[in-house]
């Protein structure tokens, strides 16, 4: 390292650190004495020399600071005491260790230096050992102080995070308590009407008109209670990961229109008009009942919060690669602070005992869960109270080349007849399920509980198609497929990846590893059979060699 003196007008950049060595600035106007200090310290420290106090202040103003400043007390121009006092007025240099370097050893100078903010002093006549000892003491003290400050900051950050986590947990617990109270209220309210009218019917005192009214009321409240129970069960299944979709290729318009028509009487009774613009022929791969439930929940929610004389607009259209269902109402609107939380479980804008709208507030939470199970996403918008709200769901469009052939009949038992399949899964239950289902479909099935076992089977026979789980210990499905492609070479074997991860990036990772299709769990056997037959009949060509 070449050391150079940095004068008042010298703008050259000098690095504060050299490797892990602490940096020491030395402000000394006498060249011989400055070089002597440099020689003493340079074996342990990265030394930067300054010929006057002004140079120190200019460099400090750039934000570069050393671990220690050795400061000559008597210099031309800006004196050491002025440098010391100024540095002690700045937030960034309050803790900078300053060692005063003086030739006089005058007691008055020493007191003046300590009063001005210096940490220690050493005479120019002191030995090299004493200078090194004083420098080392101050540098070590600064390092310990810096370490303590970092620890304090880390502790403060952890405390903030802990308080935030505790606040979130308490808020969640409060929300659950409020939710349970609402469950009790919403279940008891229809029971009151059911039991009350049942007693009157049993008394035999009602005429025909009132008896019919009693039966209508009982039926209406029983249906309301059944829907509450259904919502609770749906949410419970989703949370537990036990809700399974019965997917088929369907026109989304069919389910949306059925949901709208079933709700028109309720809207008309409230004086709310439903306008619809529903495009037909928008195909999705979904569960018809669940898609209809999503549409029903959105439109029902809009009716609930839209005053009489206002309207609701329902549109279904293609947007890029998605089928978008949009429900826009002229209702009471949503506070912007609550918009990000409208799809949360156990959350309602108004959960007080004086709220105008009933219900558990589960409808939108179920909308989000069902939409995400279909690989879609949800959005909500509102300009604020009094400005209505818009809810959107986006579901992946099911293009023609992805749809099962029209000649295929769903649920055919011999879908895989004559095929030799290799199934790989470390979960014994999942492996047995696949073996039984595929054998019932007519396939000859070999099973392997690990990637290593699968590779051993491939040494003796090559299947028509492989089905492999992705998440396995030791060598996962991606690694297995790369090994298969490397071993088989020109022997092309189609492969299907099974995984509980259904994100786009998971699908792309599976394709990059050598799989042809990514099938998310929970598994639909009919869908799997359709994919198997499609791959075996129209196998994709192996990727070109690089």
d(C-alpha 471, C-alpha 375), whole Å: 20
In CATH, what number does 23-126 get?
3.40.50.2300
Q: What is the pLDDT of residue 205?
A: 87
d(C-alpha 392, C-alpha 321), whole Å: 15
d(C-alpha 349, C-alpha 104), whole Å: 77
d(C-alpha 129, C-alpha 208), whole Å: 113
Contacts of 313 (CB under 8 A, 6+ apart): 275, 276, 277, 326, 327, 328, 329
For 94-121, write each residue's pLDDT tens digit.
889 999 988 766 777 788 888 888 999 8
Are 472 and 416 contacting, i.e. CB atoms less than 8 angstroms apart? no
Please name which of 293, 370, 2, 338 lies closest in space to residue 175, comparing C-alpha atoms: 338
Q: What is the pLDDT of residue 399?
A: 62
d(C-alpha 130, C-alpha 247), whole Å: 83
- pTM here is 0.42
In CATH, what number does 248-396 get?
3.30.565.10
DSSP conformation letters of 420-448: EEEEE-S-HHHHHHHHHHHHHTT-EEEEE
Please name which of 131, 117, 114 lies closest in space to residue 36, comparing C-alpha atoms: 131
- Both tokens of 512, joined, read 């990059």
Q: What is the pLDDT of residue 449?
A: 92
End-to-end alpha carbon distance in the chain: 49
Q: What is the pLDDT of residue 56?
A: 92
Q: Is 249 helix (H, G, I), strand (E, B) or coil?
A: strand
Please name which of 131, 126, 105 lies closest in space to residue 43, comparing C-alpha atoms: 131
DSSP conformation letters of 151-170: HHHHHHHHHHHHHHHHHHHH
| DSSP symbol at 397 | B
Tell me the Ramachandran region of residue 105: left when phi exceeds 0, alpha when psi lies from -120 to 50, beta otherwise: left
Q: Where are the domains of the chain?
A: 23-126, 248-396, 420-536
d(C-alpha 223, C-alpha 265), whole Å: 15
d(C-alpha 519, C-alpha 30), whole Å: 79
- Both tokens of 348, joined, read 């309602």
Fold match between domain 248-396 and domain 420-536:
no
Q: What is the pLDDT of residue 67?
A: 93
- Both tokens of 245, joined, read 């979709």
Q: Is 353 helix (H, G, I), strand (E, B) or coil?
A: coil
Fold classification of 420-536 is Rossmann fold (3.40.50)
Residue 154: phi, psi to the nearest 5? -65, -40
DSSP conformation letters of 187-235: HHHHHHHHHHHHHHHHHT---HHHHHHHHHHHHHHHHHHHHHHHHHHHH
The parts of the chain modelled with pLDDT lower than 70 are 1-19, 104-105, 175, 178-179, 181-183, 185-186, 238-242, 345-361, 399-415, 490, 500-505, 522, 537-546
Beta bridge partners of 340: none
For 220-263, write each residue's pLDDT tens digit.
888 777 777 777 777 777 666 667 788 889 999 999 999 999 88
């Amino acid at each position: 390292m070449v050391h150079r003196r940095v004068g008042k007008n010298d703008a050259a950049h000098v690095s504060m650190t050299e490797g892990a060595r602490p940096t020491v600035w030395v402000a000394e106007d006498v060249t011989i004495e400055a070089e002597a200090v440099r020689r003493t310290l340079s074996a342990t420290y990265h030394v930067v020399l300054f010929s006057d106090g002004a140079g120190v202040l200019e460099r400090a103003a750039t934000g570069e600071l050393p671990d220690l400043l050795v400061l000559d007390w008597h210099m031309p121009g800006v004196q050491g005491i002025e440098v010391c006092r100024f540095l002690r007025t700045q937030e960034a240099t309050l803790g900078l260790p300053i060692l005063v370097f003086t030739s006089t050893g005058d007691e008055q100078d020493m007191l003046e230096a300590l009063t001005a903010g210096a940490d220690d002093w050493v005479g120019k006549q002191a030995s090299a050992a004493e200078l090194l000892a004083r420098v080392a003491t101050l540098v070590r003290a600064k390092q310990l102080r810096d370490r303590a400050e970092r620890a304090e900051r880390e502790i403060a950050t952890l405390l903030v995070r802990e308080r935030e986590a505790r606040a979130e947990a308490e808020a969640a617990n409060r929300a659950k308590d409020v939710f349970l109270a609402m469950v009790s209220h919403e279940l008891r309210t229809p029971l009151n009407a059911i039991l009350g009218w049942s007693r009157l019917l049993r008394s035999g005192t009602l005429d025909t008109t009132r008896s019919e009214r009693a039966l209508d009321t009982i039926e209406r409240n029983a249906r309301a209670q059944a829907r509450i129970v259904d919502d609770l069960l749906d949410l419970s299944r989703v949370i537990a990961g036990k809700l399974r979709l019965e997917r088929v290729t369907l026109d989304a318009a069919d389910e949306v229109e059925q949901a709208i028509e079933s709700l028109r009487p309720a809207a008309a009774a409230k004086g709310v008009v439903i306008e619809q613009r529903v495009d037909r022929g928008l195909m999705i791969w979904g569960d018809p009942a669940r898609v209809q439930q999503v549409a029903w929940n959105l439109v029902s929610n809009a009716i609930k919060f839209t005053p009489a004389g206002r309207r609701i607009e329902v549109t279904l259209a293609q947007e890029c690669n998605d089928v978008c269902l949009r429900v826009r109402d002229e209702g009471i609107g949503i506070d912007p602070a609550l918009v990000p939380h409208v799809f949360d479980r156990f959350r309602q804008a108004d959960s007080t005992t004086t709220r105008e709208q009933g219900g558990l507030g589960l409808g939108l939470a179920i909308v989000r869960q069902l939409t995400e199970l279909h690989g879609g996403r949800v959005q909500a918008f509102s300009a604020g109270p009094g400005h209505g709200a818009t809810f959107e769901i986006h579901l992946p469009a099911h293009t023609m080349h992805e749809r099962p052939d029209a000649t295929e009949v769903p649920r055919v038992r011999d879908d895989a007849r004559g095929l030799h399949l290799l199934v790989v899964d470390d979960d014994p239950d999942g492996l047995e399920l696949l073996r039984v289902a595929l054998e019932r479909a007519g396939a000859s099935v070999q099973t392997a509980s690990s990637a290593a076992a699968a590779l051993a089977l491939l040494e003796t026979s090559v299947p028509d198609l492989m089905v492999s789980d992705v998440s396995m210990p030791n060598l996962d499905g991606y690694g297995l497929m790369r090994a298969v492609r490397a071993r088989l070479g020109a022997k092309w074997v189609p492969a299907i990846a099974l995984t509980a991860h259904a994100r786009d990036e998971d699908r792309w990772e599976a394709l990059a590893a050598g799989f042809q299709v990514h099938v998310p769990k929970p598994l639909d056997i009919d869908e799997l059979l359709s994919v198997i037959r499609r791959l075996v009949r129209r196998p994709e060509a192996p990727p070109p060699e690089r």
